[in-house]
Amino acid sequence: MKYFCIECGYNISTEIYDYSLNHFSHPLCRIHQDWIRALLWDNYTTQQTIDLYLALKTNGVPAVIEKFDGYKHIDIAIPKHKFNIEIDGMHHHYDSNQALRDLKRTYHSFRRGYFTIRVPNTLVDERLNEAVEYIIKFLNESMNQQ
Ligand SMILES: [Zn+2]
């Protein structure tokens, strides 16, 4: 059985595959295991962002994590579909200032042709597969409408 890193497609050994599945739930080469660790250590990316990103990659979605749009980092971007995903903690819902900033940002992205969905952490934690299924439906629709 041959195993491949879902980030770079590099062939990985059975040992690295097993280790990666235990620690990251997805097959990653050593370089990309370190890359994920670094994203988490910086406290810059949340576990939920990484979980959703890796689940999308596993499903063949050409996602980019922490993409800089010239203004701010997008948690997960799918440039090919002009589709952005922001993964939010609860403060995005409780704090109206934060919620309004989010809405303005969604609007400015939309003006530039980018559609943004906001996904709460709880959805990633508890219903990840269904969330991925629906995101893929969005992407398929966007292809149909082009
Ligand atoms: Zn890799």
Distance 3 CA to ligand 1 centre (A): 11
pLDDT at 18 over 70: yes
In the reported structure, the alpha carbon of residue 120 is separated from the centroid of ligand 1 by a whole-number distance in angstroms of 28
Q: What pTM did the predictor assign?
A: 0.90
Ligand 1: distance of its center to the CA of 70 in Å? 26
Q: From start to end of the chain, where are the E strands?
A: 3-4, 11-12, 64-68, 73-78, 83-88, 115-120
Q: Which domains does the chain have, with CATH numbers?
A: 1-44 (no CATH), 46-145 (3.40.960.10)
Q: CB–CB of 26/17 below 8 Å?
A: no
Ligand 1 centre distance from Cα of residue 137 (Å): 27
Average pLDDT on 86-102 reads 85
Q: Answer whether 85's CB lies under 8 Å from 75's CB.
A: yes
Residue 67 tokens read as 């993409």
Q: How does residue 116 score in pLDDT terms, banded at 50, 70 and 90?
A: very high
Tell me, in angstroms, the distance from the centre of ligand 1 to residue 80's CA. Answer: 21
pLDDT digits (tens, 9 = 90+) for 47-80: 999 999 999 999 999 999 988 878 788 999 999 9
- Residues 61, 142: Cα–Cα separation, whole Å: 13
